[in-house]
């Protein structure tokens, strides 16, 4: 009996040694509270795509008509698939690789593919954040650098390339990206973007250094601040000239477009991409939940908030697009009016935008040859509204053009690019977690490594 007790005491002493504890895997983390979880889920789902891709699709497919297949895809695709991912992650308490290999060993490739998809999208998203940081840094200048065209070296005229396009397009393509003239011609590194990219990765690391412990708290800001800015932009955009033209275009559906199968495919794709399905982020987030959490309710709530945000964000976007179309239309009309006045030596104000068509018919009947020699442009407001601006063209050209016509443009620029930064950062939380959680589940890193070192190694590999 004494020999057994002696062995038992020896085993207890061995378990109490520090080196033995180092070999014990740490317990799985859990969300501090439900609010952290819901905010980071909403922040991940509501991203930059809600601001530029959804309005672009609405504009491409006849405004309100796109909402019909979009809502159908939400009900029959988005919510069910999100519920599946949340439920399997919550029940199996593992990342994408662990979940799919548990369901069946042959499915491990799905988990690996999801992890590499999250890795690729994360690289793409952080480049967008880089551009946003660069624009944010330039938003404090007076005047804004994209407000006017720069002058030539002798300061006698504007740079021709800028004069032939616009100050906002010139700043984007030349001052920011410094694009080459063709795909065959490679460009070098732009040091200002390299610095911004490094800064973007540093910020992502700080916010995710301890996994869900830090990213969950950061979501209180990154998930809520964009709604404040969107509301401010809603108020400001509705005061712009021509804003109602954009809103009428948004809410006037062209039902004939629904006969095109591509609109249904794009609606399903938008739901899939917007909710972040298939990349493992939802599985990773839900794996830190209690097993009995109501994930069905979470799927419905987050999906509806995401779609409602897309529709809400489209209102100021289309108001700004209506303003941009109206400005282009007025510029076109003013040019034609000036040509008529100069050609026929008419009195100032005798030809206006409203009387242009009538005066043109009069001059065309009396002097058809002289009118035909004029380089008159065809000005059509609907054509300007139909010019779809997507992605970077919408955010870095159309929006910046609207800002310079708002009161205190620097303030609007700072708010707008801060909002984009928050949207991109909250989405990055999901992609980093989708990459990190499977690596932790596979026990690639030693248990003795602190979370900061694991996270730093993961980000450095990216």
pLDDT, mean of residues 429-450: 80
- Per the listing, tokens 């404090």 go with 140
Q: How far apart are CA 340 and CA 361, in angstroms?
A: 11
Residue 434 lies in a domain: yes
pLDDT, mean of residues 15-38: 64
Residue 271 lies in a domain: yes
Percent over 90 (pLDDT), the chain? 37
Q: How far apart are CA 268 and CA 74, in angstroms?
A: 8
| Residue range of the domain that includes 300 | 30-312+391-461
108: helix, strand or coil: helix
At residue 26, the pLDDT reads 56
Residue 135 lies in a domain: yes
Model confidence pLDDT, tens digit, residues 207-265: 888 777 788 888 899 899 999 999 988 888 888 888 898 888 888 888 888 888 999 99
Model confidence pLDDT, tens digit, residues 157-169: 888 888 888 888 8
Q: How far apart are CA 210 and CA 318, in angstroms?
A: 40
- The total domain count for the chain is 1
Provide the pLDDT confidence category of residue 436 given band limits of 50, 70 and 90: confident
Assess whether pLDDT exceeds 80 at residue 445: no
Assess whether pLDDT exceeds 60 at residue 443: yes
User: What's the alpha-carbon Rg for the chain, to the nearest Å?
Assistant: 28
Q: Among 44-48, 210-214, 274-278, where is mean pLDDT lowest?
A: 210-214
Residue 345 lies in a domain: no
pLDDT, mean of residues 99-116: 91
Q: How far apart are CA 254 and CA 382, in angstroms?
A: 14
Q: How far is CA 379 from CA 326, 334, 360, in A?
A: 10, 10, 13
151: helix, strand or coil: strand
Provide the pLDDT confidence category of residue 389 given band limits of 50, 70 and 90: low
Model confidence pLDDT, tens digit, residues 301-345: 999 999 999 999 989 888 888 888 888 888 889 988 888 888 888
Assess whether pLDDT exceeds 90 at residue 69: yes
At residue 19, the pLDDT reads 43
Q: List the one residue out of 291, 367, 280, 379 whose CA is nearest residue 327.
A: 379
Residue 351 lies in a domain: no
Query: Average pLDDT over the chain, rounded to whole?
Result: 84
Residue 348 lies in a domain: no
Percent over 70 (pLDDT), the chain? 90
Q: How far is CA 43 from CA 94, 229, 362, 432, 453, in A?
A: 21, 15, 59, 13, 25
Residue 130 lies in a domain: yes
Model confidence pLDDT, tens digit, residues 337-357: 888 888 888 888 888 888 888
Residue 381 lies in a domain: no
């Amino acid at each position: 009996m004494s020999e057994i007790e002696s062995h038992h005491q020896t085993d207890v002493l061995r378990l109490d040694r520090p080196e033995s504890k180092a070999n014990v895997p740490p317990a799985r983390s859990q969300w501090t509270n439900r609010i952290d979880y819901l905010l980071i889920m909403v922040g991940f789902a509501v991203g930059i795509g809600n601001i530029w891709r959804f309005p672009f699709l609405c504009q491409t497919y006849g405004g309100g008509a796109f909402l019909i297949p979009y809502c159908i895809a939400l009900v029959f695709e988005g919510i069910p698939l999100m519920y599946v991912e949340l439920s399997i992650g919550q029940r199996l308490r593992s990342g994408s690789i662990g979940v799919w290999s548990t369901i069946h060993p042959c499915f491990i490739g799905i988990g690996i593919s999801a992890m590499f998809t999250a890795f690729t999208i994360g690289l793409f998203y952080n480049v967008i954040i880089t551009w946003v940081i660069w624009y944010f840094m330039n938003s404090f200048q007076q005047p804004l650098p994209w407000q006017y065209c720069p002058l030539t070296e002798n300061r006698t005229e504007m740079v021709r390339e800028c004069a032939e396009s616009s100050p906002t397009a010139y700043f984007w393509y030349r001052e920011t990206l410094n694009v080459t003239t063709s795909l065959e011609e490679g460009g070098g590194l732009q040091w200002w973007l390299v610095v911004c990219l490094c800064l973007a990765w540093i910020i992502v690391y700080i916010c995710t250094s301890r996994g869900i412990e830090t990213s969950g708290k950061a979501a209180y800001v990154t998930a809520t601040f964009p709604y404040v800015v969107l509301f401010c932009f809603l108020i400001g955009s509705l005061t712009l000239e021509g804003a109602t033209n954009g809103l009428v275009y948004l809410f006037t559906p062209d039902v004939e477009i629904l006969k095109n199968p591509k609109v249904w495919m794009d609606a399903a794709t938008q739901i899939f991409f917007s909710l972040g399905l298939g990349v493992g982020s939802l599985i990773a987030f839900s794996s830190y939940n209690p097993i009995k959490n109501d994930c069905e309710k979470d799927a419905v709530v987050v999906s509806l908030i995401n779609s409602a945000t897309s529709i809400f964000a489209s209102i100021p976007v289309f108001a700004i697009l209506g303003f941009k179309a109206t400005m282009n239309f007025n510029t076109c009309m003013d040019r034609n009016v000036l040509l008529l006045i100069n050609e026929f030596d008419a009195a100032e104000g005798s030809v206006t935008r409203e009387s242009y068509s009538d005066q043109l018919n009069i001059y065309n009947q009396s002097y058809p040859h002289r009118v035909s020699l004029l380089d008159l442009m065809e000005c059509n407001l609907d054509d300007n509204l139909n010019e779809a601006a997507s992605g970077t063209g919408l955010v870095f050209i159309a929006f910046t053009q609207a800002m310079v016509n708002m009161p205190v443009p620097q303030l609007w620029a700072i708010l707008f690019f801060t909002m984009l930064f928050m949207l991109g950062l909250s989405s990055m939380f999901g992609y980093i977690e989708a990459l990190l959680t499977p690596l932790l589940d596979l026990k690639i890193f030693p248990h003795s490594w602190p979370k900061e070192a694991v996270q730093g190694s993961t980000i450095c590999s990216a």
